[in-house]
Amino acid sequence: MVKSRATSTPTLGVDLHLDLKGAGLRSGLMDALREAVRGGRLAPGTRLPSSRTLAADLGIARNTVADAYAELVAEGWLTARQGSGTRVAQRAAARPDRGHVHRLPTRRKPTYNLMAGSPDLASFPRAEWLKAARRALTAAPHDAFGFGDPRGRIELRTVLADYLARSRGVYASPDRIVICSGFVHGLMLMGRVLRARRVREVAVEAYGLDFHWKLLTDAGLRTPALPMDEQGTRTDELGADKGVGAVLMTPAHQFPIGVPLLPDRRAAAVDWARATGGLILEDDYDGEFRYDRQPVGALQGLDPEHVVYIGTASKSLAPGLRLGWMVLPEHLVDEVAEGKGLSDWTCGVLDQLTLAEFIGSGAYDRHVRGMRLHYRRRRDQLVAAIAERAPDARVSGIAAGLHALVELPPGTERSIVQAATWQGLALEGLSRFRHPQLPHGREALVVGYGTPPDSAWTGALDALLRVLAAVGT
């Protein structure tokens, strides 16, 4: 509210956040506008509110605003043209003095990217997603726009139960599913639940993602490493540490080694969970993509009451959707939903409804089948090119997923990763994913062949081959 002209209390404009001070409203408005332009807060070309609108916002006479605008136009701060309104003039705004600021060197963005963990974002099905979004929005009930069920929209949970059962062998019902904003969100929720249940340790695979381990340690849990060999994680070692109450695993396609968990090791993990009352946290991050093998179903199907299945649309569609799902043992559903409900600001209703429509219409299956062929072609090109131009390098972990392991001679991983940086190629070595409990291990490159768009794939592959050739692999 504007007080008397004699007061110095500031008056705030709703849109422009102008601070009017002094006895004269016109001069105060002009000073505030000059300062906003001078400081860069109103950029050149910015359209200002009409004199009527700004006067109403500030609670002053329209003529006062019109006169201020006219004078600032005469001074060159603003421009006014019929049909274009009043705008900030195209002039160089004075820059604040930054002489005291220490400039930090900026890292040059790599030309090519073969980092694992991302799909080909250029292949996101924009047209089909837009169609699904329109249908979902049209059909959405009014209550969909409220706070809703912390477990997520029933439409999405229903279609997910059907999809996961037929495609991943998951024992699922809508009541067992909780929607989350991706694997990290699901793991955060489980970390809190486990800590509240007085679990002290969550075993993790000897190779994996350090930020997953950190999420668990931030929840107050220790993360001892399970040993691995050429055939994957040694689940028979789970009983060696009596403090372990849960284990985090990637059984369908171990990340980053790339092997599936063998049947006897799957059975050993389930036997341990049943005998101890422990939980298996199953990260099924890219289970839809397999090439040279029969589908490996989810571990959850062996014992739904001891496995927490966590899936995500990050690899099949895009991580930017921030959509994932947890299929929980029945006794955990209420506990996880209650914990999620306390801070459920992460799962947008419209995206949930769109994904439900996308899956239910069959568009999701069609997209996954198309991308499976797309990534297989990439995989085949990678393997063939390395065999021809770097025959001493062995490629493994290629039967499924979006990345491959390029085995290296001992003592070469660090130099190759450095050479990749010089070539403008973003690339990571296997040691980046090694648990701190393992001081030494295999040397390899983790090559995310799914990451580049088609326009950059050939260049990225050539850059990789130049690096391998330069180091003499």
Q: What is the pLDDT of residues 117-147, one digit of tens each?
A: 999 999 999 999 999 999 999 999 999 998 8
- The structure's pTM equals 0.80
- For 426, the token pair is 């973003």
104 in a structural domain: no
Q: How much is the pLDDT for 19?
A: 74
Q: Tell me the pLDDT band of 472, cut-offs 50, 70 and 90.
A: low
Nearest to 266 by CA among 234, 304, 227, 229: 234
- Would 99 be classed as within a structural domain? no
Q: Do 241 and 381 fall into the same domain?
A: no
Q: How many domains does the chain have?
A: 3
Residue 96 lies in a domain: no
**Same domain, residue pair 329 and 373:** no
Task: Give me 311's structure tokens.
Answer: 């899936």
| Position 256 pLDDT exceeds 90 | yes
388 and 265 together in one domain: no
Residues 21 and 74 in one domain: yes
In DSSP terms, 19 is beta-bridged to 12
pLDDT over threshold 70, residue 6: no
Query: Is 93 a member of any domain?
Result: no
Q: 281 and 162, same structural domain?
A: yes
> In angstroms, how far is CA 403 from the centroid of its own chain?
17
Structural domain contains residue 107: no
Question: Does 434 lie in the same domain as 326?
Answer: no
Q: Can you give the pLDDT at residue 101?
A: 42
Residues 297 and 422 in one domain: no
Pair (235, 379) in one structural domain: no
**363, 385, 404 - which closes a domain:** 363
Q: What is the pLDDT of residues 369-417, one digit of tens each?
A: 999 999 999 999 999 999 999 888 899 999 999 999 999 988 899 999 9
- CA atoms of 204 and 437, how far apart (whole Å): 11
Domain presence at residue 428? yes
61 with 201, same domain: the answer is no
> What is the distance between the alpha carbons of residues 56 and 341, in angstroms, rounded to a whole number?
41
For residue 244, what are the β-bridge partners? 201
What's the mean pLDDT in 5-19? 50
**Cα–Cα distance list, 40 to 36, 72, 290 (Å):** 6, 16, 53
pLDDT given for residue 266 in this prediction: 95
Domain contains 75: yes
Same domain for 372 and 333, yes or no, is no
302 and 205: one domain?
A: yes
Per the prediction, the chain carries an average pLDDT of 88
Domain boundary pick from 363, 387, 416: 363
**Where residue 60 sits, what CATH number does that domain have?**
1.10.10.10
**Exposed/middle/buried for residue 112 (C-beta within 10 Å: 0-12, 13-18, 19+):** buried
Q: Residue 358 — very low, low, confident or very high, per pLDDT cuts 50/70/90?
A: very high
Helix (H) or strand (E) holding 207: none
> Which two tokens mark 392?
């001493």
- Write the pLDDT tens digit of every residue in 189-236: 999 999 999 999 999 999 999 999 999 999 999 999 999 988 889 999
Domain that holds residue 434: 112-117+366-471
Residues 74 and 171 in one domain: no
